[in-house]
């Protein structure tokens, strides 16, 4: 067997080629990354860096659609299972860890693939988001959590709108985690959250963003089928194990899609059928939000996710060969 070709090791100031595979949930991003890596093996070895804000949690495998052991064996993945479900992990930490992982992959002479559907994680890397460095305040967060519990996320959004209208326009009113963080930055720093954001130069040149999309109704059907498969794979049992291990329902990790809805079933607040239906409808809403986030980015080269992975990988490989300025193998 011929050794996998390698890219030259990076030196200070040198640019780093980066391929990002993005798109809404259930479009097959991991599958494409694995098949693409195999397709590129004669030209360059690849390693993946996850851009998924829920796959960072250990023990939360099924509802997060974490890459399987087989997929990880075929394509090394980084930034999976980073922290326990009760540990904090900020966007700034992710940005630093992903930046380091990408640099290390390039230094090994391999091509980094940034793979995931968390838009803020992707932007933190490829656009070098300037992230406010205000440290978390447990006391203030407890105060804001109390407002959330009493009056719902709309109350937090209204308060943010009064302090920072620009941030309130950008942040989904149904996302309490981001609302709390924006309020925390405003209140502790005395400056608006939006003023402390922006971008900074990155080393990712050339950069290729590949997006997976498909007819929305067909994607909903695919997402629903995946949820049924998650139930068959033991999602209820996995959720029970997390609770038995002492992870409280109030943790941000436990509010993730799937665990939140199955939690309602386990607490006797819904039947299993109702919980699964809620999970599916919430996933549809999440898909819509992901598309709203991604579609304005004119840099993304969109691929039709309904096509077979091998065909998608062939299309993607053509663009990667152009990115690296190498000829495809005969």
Domain boundary among 177, 196, 215: 196
Question: Comparing 18-27, 179-188, 269-278, which segment has the lowest mean pLDDT?
Answer: 179-188
**Are 127 and 199 spatial neighbours (Cβ–Cβ below 8 Å)?**
yes
Taking the C-alpha atoms of residue 312 and residue 38, their distance in angstroms, rounded to an integer, is 13
Residue 142: pLDDT band (50, 70, 90) is confident
pLDDT band at residue 227, thresholds of 50, 70 and 90? very high
pLDDT band for 3, please (50, 70, 90 cuts). very low
How sure is the predictor about 8, in pLDDT bands with cuts at 50, 70 and 90?
A: very low
* pLDDT > 70 fraction of the chain, expressed in percent and rounded: 94
Percentage, residues of the chain above pLDDT 90: 72
Q: Are residues 252 and 188 in the same domain?
A: no
**Number of C-beta neighbours around residue 130 at 10 A:** 14
Band (pLDDT 50/70/90 cuts) for residue 221 is very high
Does residue 2 lie in a domain region? no
If you average pLDDT over residues 244-269, what whole number do you get?
96
Q: Is the pLDDT of residue 2 over 60?
A: no
User: What's the pLDDT score for residue 124?
Assistant: 96
The three-state (H, E, C) secondary structure of the chain, written as one string = CCCCCCCCCCCCCCCCCEEEEECCCCCCHHHHHHHHHHHHCCCCCEEEEECCCCCCECCCCCCCCCCCHHHHHHCCEECCCCECCCCCCCHHHHHHHHHHHHHHHHHCCCEEEEECCCHHHHHHHHCCECCCCCCCCHHHHHHHHHHHHHHCHHHHHHHHHHHCHHHHHHCCCCCHHHHHHHHHHHHHHCCCCHHHCCECCCCCCCEEEEEEECCHHHHHHHHHHHHHHHHHHCHHHHHHHHHHCCCCCCCCHHHCCCHHHHHHHHCCCCCHHHHHHHHHHHHHHHHHHHHHHHCCCCCEEEEECCCCHHHHHHHHHHHHHHHHCCCCCC
Q: What average pLDDT is seen over the chain? A: 91
* In a shared domain, residues 111 and 145: no
Residues 37, 176, single domain; the answer is no
Provide the token pair at 69: 């052991």
Does 10 fall in a domain? no
- In a shared domain, residues 220 and 95: yes
- Provide the pLDDT confidence category of residue 329 given band limits of 50, 70 and 90: low
Whether the predicted pLDDT of 171 surpasses 50: yes
Of 20-24, 129-133, 244-248, minimum mean pLDDT range: 129-133
Question: Do 252 and 266 share a structural domain?
Answer: yes
pLDDT at 1: 32
pTM, 2 dp: 0.85
Length of the chain: 330
The verdict on 219 and 108 lying in the same domain is yes
Q: Is the pLDDT of residue 12 over 60?
A: no
Residue 191 sits in the same domain as residue 205: no
Does 55 map to a domain?
A: yes
Domain count, the chain: 2
Task: Say if 330 falls within a structural domain.
Answer: no
Domain range for 100:
18-130+200-324
In a domain, 1, yes or no: no
According to the model, what pLDDT value does residue 13 have? 58
Q: What is the pLDDT of residue 327?
A: 66
Residue 330 has pLDDT above 60, yes or no: no
Q: Encoding tokens for residue 99?
A: 């930046």
Q: Which among 104-113, 176-185, 196-205 has the top mean pLDDT?
A: 104-113
Q: Are 223 and 159 in contact (CB under 8 A)?
A: no
């Amino acid at each position: 067997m011929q050794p996998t070709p390698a890219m030259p090791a990076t030196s200070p100031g040198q640019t780093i080629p980066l391929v990002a595979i993005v798109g809404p949930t259930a479009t097959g991003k991991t599958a494409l990354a694995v098949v693409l890596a195999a397709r590129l093996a004669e030209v360059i070895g690849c390693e993946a860096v996850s851009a998924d804000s829920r796959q960072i949690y250990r023990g939360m495998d099924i509802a997060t659609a974490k890459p399987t052991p087989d997929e990880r064996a075929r394509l090394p993945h980084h930034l999976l299972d980073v922290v326990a479900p009760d540990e904090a992990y900020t966007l700034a930490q992710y940005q630093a860890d992903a930046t380091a992982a990408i640099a290390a992959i390039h230094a090994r002479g391999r091509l980094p693939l940034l793979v995931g559907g968390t838009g803020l994680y992707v932007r933190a890397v490829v656009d070098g988001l300037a992230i406010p460095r205000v440290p978390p305040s447990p006391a203030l967060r407890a105060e804001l959590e109390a407002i959330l519990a009493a009056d719902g996320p709309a109350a937090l959004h209204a308060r943010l709108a009064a302090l920072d209208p620009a941030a309130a326009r950008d942040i989904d009113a149904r996302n309490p985690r981001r609302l709390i963080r924006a309020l925390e930055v405003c209140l502790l720093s005395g400056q608006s959250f939006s003023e402390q954001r922006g971008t900074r130069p990155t080393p990712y040149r050339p950069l290729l963003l590949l997006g997976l999309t498909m007819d929305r109704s067909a994607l909903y059907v695919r997402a629903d089928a995946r949820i049924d498969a998650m139930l068959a794979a033991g999602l209820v049992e996995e959720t029970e194990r997390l609770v038995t291990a002492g992870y409280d329902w109030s943790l941000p990790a436990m509010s993730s899609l799937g665990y939140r809805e199955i939690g309602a079933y386990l607490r006797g607040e819904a039947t299993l059928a109702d919980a699964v239906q809620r999970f599916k409808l919430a996933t549809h809403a999440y898909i819509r939000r992901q598309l709203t986030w991604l579609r304005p980015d004119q840099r993304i080269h969109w691929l039709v996710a309904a096509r077979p992975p091998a065909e998608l990988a062939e299309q993607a490989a053509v663009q990667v060969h152009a990115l690296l300025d190498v000829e495809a193998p005969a």
